[in-house]
Amino acid sequence: MKIARRDVLGLGGGLVAALSLFRREVWGEEVVEIRMQGRADGSHVWFDPIGVLVMPGQMVRWINLNPGNSHTTTAYHPANFGRPLRIPEAAKSWASDYLLPDESFSVTFTAQGVYDYYCIPHEHAGMVGRIIVGKPEAHGGWMEGPIAGRRGLPDEALKAFPMVEEIMTNRIVRHL
C-alpha cells in the first residue's frame, strides 16, 4: 500500500491541531519556570522572567542557574524576617533555603492576587520578582499609592518590580 505525501501531511496537521487543543486544556497545570541568574563576576543578579501570570492551582519552579551564587525565593510576608505583606492575605507564605547552582524550589499558587518575592542575599541589588495569579483586585491593598507595603523595602527592589499591567498584557516579563 502506498501512502501519499498529502496523507502524511494531513495526519501531521491533524496531530498538530490536536496537540494545540491539548496544550490549551492543560495550560493551568503546566509548571512555570523562573531562572535565578547572574553575571559570572557577580556584578548583577536577577530572576528571569521577573514577572509572570499564572492560573490558580498552577506551580512555579525557581531554579538556580547562576554557577557563582546561591539564591533564595522568599515571599514578602511578616513571617519572613518581618518583611511587609506583599502577597494576598489568604495566601500561604514561602521561603526556600539557599539554593546552590542547579537546585530548585517549587510553590503551587492557589489564592488569586499579586505576589512579590525577593532573594535574601540580593534584595538590595534589586533581585525581586512578581507573580500574578488569576485577576488581581486593584483595591484595598498595597497596589495603590504610597502605603505600608512599600515601607522597609530597598529602593533598588522597589524600582525593579514590573508593573502589574505589563504582566497582565504580556503574560511573562523577561529580565532586560
Q: What is the CATH number of the domain that holds 93?
A: 2.60.40.420
Q: Is residue 156 part of a domain?
A: yes
122 is in an annotated binding site: yes
Within a domain: 21: no
- In Å, what is the CA distance from 107 to each residue of 45, 93, 117, 137, 159? 21, 10, 12, 21, 25
Q: According to the annotation, is 55 in a ligand binding site?
A: no
Q: Is 139 annotated as a binding residue?
A: no
Those residues whose C-beta lies under 8 Å from the C-beta of residue 81, and which sit 6 or more positions away, are 120
- In a domain? residue 125: yes
Is residue 71 part of an annotated ligand binding site?
yes
Q: Which three cell numbers stand for residue 70?
A: 546561591
Residue 1 lies in a domain: no
Q: Is there a domain that residue 38 lies in?
A: yes
Which pLDDT tens digit goes with each residue over 33-86?
999 999 988 889 999 999 999 999 999 999 999 998 999 999 999 999 999 999
Q: Is residue 24 in some structural domain?
A: no
Residue 10 lies in a domain: no
Count of structural domains, the chain: 1
Residues 76-113 have pLDDT tens digits of 999 999 999 999 999 999 999 999 999 999 999 999 99
Q: Domain for residue 4, yes or no?
A: no
